Amino acid sequence: MTKTILIPTDFTVKSLNLAKIALQKNLSSQGKVRLILVHGFWMSTSISDLLFYSKKSLLDKLETADFRASCKLLLGKYEDKIDQMTIDLFSGRNQSSFENYLEAHNIDEVYISPSYKYKLKNSSSFDLNPFIAKSKVKQVEVNWELSANHEDTQDELSALFFTHGQIAH
């Protein structure tokens, strides 16, 4: 049976640590894992903006080259465990729409890190944690510490290897 896990992301390599930890935690389970990396993004209410809206174009603008490379790295390292990994946007404005999103995507768990501060680079981006905190889906809290040498560095592929995650009890 496939387990579907939602991972909030800000399109930094460091935010992918939640995905890495979720995969590591589920290595011993029998089924595969379906990861959905989700970013909160307020949609414009302008008719002309909505007419020319393209999710693919928007995602291409938000994703960095390092983020894409890190996703490929995760897919390669955990190819036997990952059934599917997708990147999506959540644009709802209330808790009900978030619950509908979770239900529509059959989310089994959401991984969050209270210690991680999301770096929202776009003025229309928003933190999903308030929606997640109020949701009814199982939440797995992960606290990770960045090594002192890499805490203030640029967003790099190596950031996936220099963190130590621990699942909160």
DSSP 8-52: E--SSTGGGHHHHHHHHHTTTSSS-EEEEEEEEEPPP--HHHHHT
Tens-place pLDDT, residues 39-87: 999 988 788 877 888 889 989 999 999 999 999 999 999 999 999 999 9
Residue numbers of the domain that contains 65: 3-167
Rounded Cα distance between 53 and 76, Å, is 32
Give the position of tokens 């983020």. 67
The beta strand positions in 16-162, using DSSP E, are 33-41, 82-90, 109-112, 125-126, 138-146
Domains contained in the chain, number: 1
Model pLDDT, residue 148: 38
Top mean pLDDT of 11-15, 27-31, 101-105, 148-152 is at: 101-105
Query: What mean pLDDT do residues 86-115 have?
Result: 95
For residue 29, give the CATH number of its domain.
3.40.50.620
Q: How far is CA 100 from the centre of its chain?
A: 18
Model pLDDT, residue 160: 59
